[in-house]
Structure 1
Amino acid sequence: MARQHPLKGPNRLKLGVFSTNADGGLAITDVPERWLASWQDNLTAAQIADRAGLEFVLPIARWRGFGGKNRVREWSFETFTWAAGLAAATERIGLFMTVHVPLVHPLYAAKSLATVDHISQGRAGLNIVCGWNPKEFGMFGTPLVEKGYDQATEWLDILERLYASDEPIDHDGAYYHLKQAVSRPASLQAPRPVTMNAAFGGPGRDFAAAKCDYLFTTFSEIADAGKHVADIRERAERSGRDVGAYTVAHVVCRETRAEAEAYYERYAVTMADHAAVDEHMAGKKEFSQSHDRHAYDRYRQRFAGGAGSYPLIGTPQHITDDMVAIAGQGYEGIALSFVNYTQELPYFCDRVLPLLREAGLRQ
């Protein structure tokens, strides 16, 4: 029997670690302690997060990197098999898989996702993305899909039908054609594992509002972050649904604010892998709708520091205050990245989590 998924647990602000499966994590830097994303690194980071009571581990789906000195993110683990390995080595934490819809058939995804849900006893989750990088899709000989979220809707409908039906199904749609298809066992979670979508543009948010449980989005400043929550709630209400809003942040937590800011400057400015930052920003700006348009011009350090996510830089108290403010804007969770997860996550958990409990955001 499936247990309650961690994202449905009692903590007001859910926390997870993001992008441990990829070289560098979210940081595009040349510091010697940069994340190398070995399997042992991934295992250790997930177990640290699990023991600390964090709710989820979320990978990125990356098939090629962004060049630069370190060919950043070229090394990454495929997310279904990665999650299966972590599921067998953890006890409580939610384990997400990230899938590019046009590259993975829904019948294959249904079988793989259910496998992880059984291994983890109901802790699996699915991050559904349509893709934005034409170089990655070119590796597969597959073009970017113009109406990717129409395809994603059909894709997810098929997966849900496969789990719900005791008999083989036929499907004749715009993107998929299945004859007498079955996928057993179904997931332990019903009608399927929890789903999320990371989207900033209108089509992606409409898809999340209609089909997913959670939406990941970015913002430039905390004071303006609530408008994104209001937008997704309005879209979800039109579909008669309730969708939780999550965001992403990169963290430098130190004893003093000066120490944290100096390290942020070191890894994300002085020792940034500038060629890779340029390629990453150019591709995102042209093909992705993941950020405010002005963010590319104003926040280069944030792209080197954490793929354009919001920076949580400072002392444990300062970071707690920012998280309280983010929660106050309506966000239910934050996916966190670090330059080196195994070196930095224990300090964060030891120092920040108690302050979040005092603030009433976690039990």
Structure 2
Amino acid sequence: MTIANPMSDLASGGFRLGVFSANADRGLTFSTVPEAWKAEWDDVAEACRIADRGGLDFFLPIARWRGYGGSTNVREWSFETFTWAAGLAAITERIALFMTVHVPLLHPLYAAKALATVDHISHGRAGLNIVCGWNPDEFDMFGVTLVKDAYVQAKEWLDVIVTTYNNDRPIDFDGKYYQLKGAVSRPASLQKPRPVTMNAAFGPPGRDFAAQNCDHLFTSFTDIEIGKGHIADIKARAAKFNRDIGVFTIGHVVCRPTQAEAEDYYDYYSRQHIDEEAVGYHMQQKKNFSHSHEDDAFRLYKQRFSAGTGSYPLVGTPERVASELSKFAAAGFNGAALSFVNYRNELPFFCETVVPLMKDAGLRACA
């Protein structure tokens, strides 16, 4: 039995909603509040079940190997994403489960086997988030140096996976980064020619890689008008390869019954109680090595980084949050990955209030 992956057919309509970074402590926040997400397994599992029952479309982890220092050392506690997704696949029914992989750290044949395993456990709901890496402090832990043509390596890496899945016989592969003799990977994935793929690139080489090789690209933006420019750029790059890819974005949510409650809590966790050292280190590393945000974002939006790692704030009543997400859809985004201060505590209210409003607005045809 194969289940349709909610992220595989955007032509069916609907604005996709997912959960981001629940595999890591504090999610996307740099807050010191005591209720901040601890990413303990039972809480992660329950949050995923809530999202699955609530009609959300995907669960997307980050790949992290060390923390960002400060008083919290945020995100040093994080679950490895293949085994994490396999565990969640066994306890959910319809939600897409992504694995986030640093290409330089994992051989493509190992990735092919692990990805196919999750696809079979989930009956076809696996997804792959391909990341080349940006933080040299993390890669130093492995004795790995990031290469300048990272997306050349990424294309070879993905080509190995797809080729082994779609050949009945062992294959040889002679690339710049991978030279394989008699390579096989069985079972192949249930999804053909491979599971759904995404990439979160901001610069031109990464966007060209995603446009040519991935189903979806995630991008950040400081305001919706600028976001429209990102969409146009990504769509134009995909058109050069005669492809059309989904464009997604990221937001952090504080949804409460009243606007005042939401704004007060937002101020409480992202201004009054932040890990200054950790967020400062993160912003500097991102600015120096990742180039994942517009330049002005680092200067103008420190609160967005402390609240949600530079993602877009969705703060207010269910009606306000649904309205903002509707603006994303109107701008041309196909969906959004969302973070919360505490996923298990806050997802029920979001699923019970915001999702129906979006369905009523005709934006949840996929739910």
- For the aligned pair, the TM-score class normalised by the smaller chain equals over 0.9
**Cross-structure match for 1:248:** 250
Q: How does 1:1-363 map to 2 (within 5 A)?
A: 1-8=1-8, 10-363=12-365
CA distance in 2, matches of 1:240, 1:362: 27
How far did residue 362 of structure 1 move? 0.8
Find the residue that maps to 2:28 and give its secondary structure. Answer: coil
How far did residue 118 of structure 1 move? 0.2
Q: Structure 2 counterpart of 1:228, which letter?
A: H
CA distance in 2, matches of 1:250, 1:103: 29
How far did residue 220 of structure 1 move? 0.3
Q: Structure 2 counterpart of 1:167, which letter?
A: R
CA distance in 2, matches of 1:39, 1:185: 28
How far did residue 337 of structure 1 move? 0.1
How far did residue 177 of structure 1 move? 1.1
How far did residue 348 of structure 1 move? 0.7
CA distance in 2, matches of 1:169, 1:8: 27
Would you say how many aligned residue pairs link Structure 1 and Structure 2?
A: 363
How far did residue 56 of structure 1 move? 0.3
Q: Structure 2 counterpart of 1:76, which letter?
A: S
CA deviations on 1:180-211 (whole Å, 9 max, x unpaired) are 11100000000000000001111110000000
CA distance in 1, matches of 2:208, 2:125: 26
How far did residue 224 of structure 1 move? 2.2
How far did residue 104 of structure 1 move? 0.6
CA distance in 2, matches of 1:22, 1:172: 37
CA distance in 2, matches of 1:128, 1:224: 25
Question: Percent same amino acid at aligned positions?
Answer: 62
Residue 8 of structure 2 contacts residue 196 of structure 2 at CA under 8 Å; is this kept in 1?
no
Q: Structure 2 counterpart of 1:125, which letter?
A: G
CA distance in 1, matches of 2:174, 2:120: 29
CA distance in 1, matches of 2:231, 2:131: 19
How far did residue 144 of structure 1 move? 1.2
CA distance in 1, matches of 2:19, 2:262: 19
CA distance in 2, matches of 1:74, 1:97: 18
Residue 214 of structure 2 contacts residue 245 of structure 2 at CA under 8 Å; is this kept in 1?
yes
Q: Structure 1 counterpart of 2:309, which letter?
A: A
Q: Structure 1 counterpart of 2:175, which letter?
A: G
CA deviations on 1:315-351 (whole Å, 9 max, x unpaired) are 1111111111110110001000000001101001111
Residue 60 of structure 2 contacts residue 97 of structure 2 at CA under 8 Å; is this kept in 1?
yes
Deviates more, 1:4-13 or 1:19-28: 4-13
Find the residue that maps to 2:100 and give its secondary structure. Answer: strand
What's the RMSD between the two structures over aligned residues?
0.8
Find the residue that maps to 1:325 and give its secondary structure. Answer: helix
CA deviations on 1:72-108 (whole Å, 9 max, x unpaired) are 0000000000000000010100000000001010000
Runs of 4 or more, structure 1, over 6 Å off, are: none
Unpaired stretches in structure 1, ≥5 consecutive residues: none
TM-score by structure 1 length?
Answer: 0.99
CA distance in 2, matches of 1:315, 1:200: 31
CA distance in 2, matches of 1:236, 1:24: 34
CA deviations on 1:146-167 (whole Å, 9 max, x unpaired) are 1111100111011100101111
How far did residue 8 of structure 1 move? 3.2
Find the residue that maps to 1:225 and give its secondary structure. Answer: helix
CA distance in 2, matches of 1:164, 1:184: 10
Find the residue that maps to 1:283 and give its secondary structure. Answer: helix
Residue 3 of structure 2 contacts residue 94 of structure 2 at CA under 8 Å; is this kept in 1?
no
Residue 55 of structure 2 contacts residue 351 of structure 2 at CA under 8 Å; is this kept in 1?
no
CA distance in 2, matches of 1:88, 1:146: 39
CA distance in 2, matches of 1:57, 1:235: 27
Q: Structure 2 counterpart of 1:123, which letter?
A: R
CA distance in 2, matches of 1:216, 1:102: 20
Deviates more, 1:220-229 or 1:82-91: 220-229
Unpaired stretches in structure 2, ≥5 consecutive residues: none
Residue 164 of structure 2 contacts residue 185 of structure 2 at CA under 8 Å; is this kept in 1?
yes
How far did residue 11 of structure 1 move? 4.7
Find the residue that maps to 1:95 and give its secondary structure. Answer: strand
